[in-house]
């Protein structure tokens, strides 16, 4: 698959010494010709969905919406458009307390919208963002990727698949607390093998 456009999503609360940001830097550098849109969910946090947003997405008439509701829908529309425009989505995934950061969950809640990124049919849910590639850069202190205490990577894989993105690769820098140098070396080797 050719990568012409990348949506890069960073979620680490750390600026300096962030492993997931180091990995997303390295992954994006594998595609020097691509146009990159960056969404830093730590620097510019997204609002969490609320009753007003849920009400709107259930089909409220436009003339009954508050300004706040219109703003939330406009933000959701913009985030979805960033996803639609990207060939490849690069997601920095630091594991916080065995799961995804709350900022990433807020993004997911705003982009997973019925009729926009998925739909329900007689055969069940169908993702609408097909033909895209996702690369997850996972970093953790003690959580091993794919282990019984890893609730982050399976969840993110499932959500991406739910909206139609099934070509998913994982670059992992897990269990950094135990062997930081060896773990980073292995992760960098994974990045080097990514098909550009």
Where does residue 124 rank: exposed (0-12), middle (13-18), buried (19+ CB within 10 A)?
A: exposed
Q: Which of 111, 106, 107, 173 is nearest to 136 (CA)?
A: 173
SS3 content of the chain, % helix, strand, coil (to 5): 35, 20, 40
Encoding tokens for residue 145? Answer: 């990727």
Q: Is 35 annotated as a binding residue?
A: no
Tokens of 76: 């959701």
Is 20 within any annotated ligand binding site?
yes
- Which pair of structure tokens corresponds to residue 59? 């089909």
One DSSP character per residue, 131-171 reads S-EEEEEEE-SSPPTTSTT--SHHHHHHHHHHTT--EEEEE
Burial of 88 (0-12, 13-18, 19+ CB in 10 A): buried
- Residue 60: both structure tokens together: 């409220």
18 is in an annotated binding site: yes
Q: Is 42 helix (H, G, I), strand (E, B) or coil?
A: coil
Binding residue numbers: 12, 18-20
* Residues contributing to the annotated binding site for FMN: 12, 18-20
């Amino acid at each position: 698959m050719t990568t012409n456009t990348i949506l890069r999503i960073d979620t680490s609360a750390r600026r300096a010494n962030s492993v997931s940001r180091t990995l997303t830097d390295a992954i994006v550098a594998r595609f020097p010709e691509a146009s990159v849109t960056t969404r830093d969910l730590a620097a510019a946090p997204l609002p969490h969905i609320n009753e007003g947003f849920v009400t709107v997405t259930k089909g409220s008439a436009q003339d009954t919406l508050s300004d706040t509701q219109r703003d939330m829908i406009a933000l959701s529309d913009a985030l979805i458009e960033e996803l639609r425009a990207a060939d490849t989505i690069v997601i920095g995934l630091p594991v916080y307390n065995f799961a995804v950061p709350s900022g990433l969950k807020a993004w997911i809640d705003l982009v997973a919208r019925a009729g926009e990124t998925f739909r329900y049919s007689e055969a069940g849910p169908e993702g609408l963002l097909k033909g895209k590639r996702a690369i997850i850069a996972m970093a953790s202190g003690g959580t091993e990727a794919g282990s019984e205490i890893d609730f982050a990577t399976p969840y993110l894989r499932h959500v991406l698949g739910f909206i139609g993105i099934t070509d998913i690769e994982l670059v992992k820098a897990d269990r950094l607390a135990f062997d930081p140098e060896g773990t980073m070396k292995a992760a960098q080797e994974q990045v080097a093998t990514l098909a550009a």
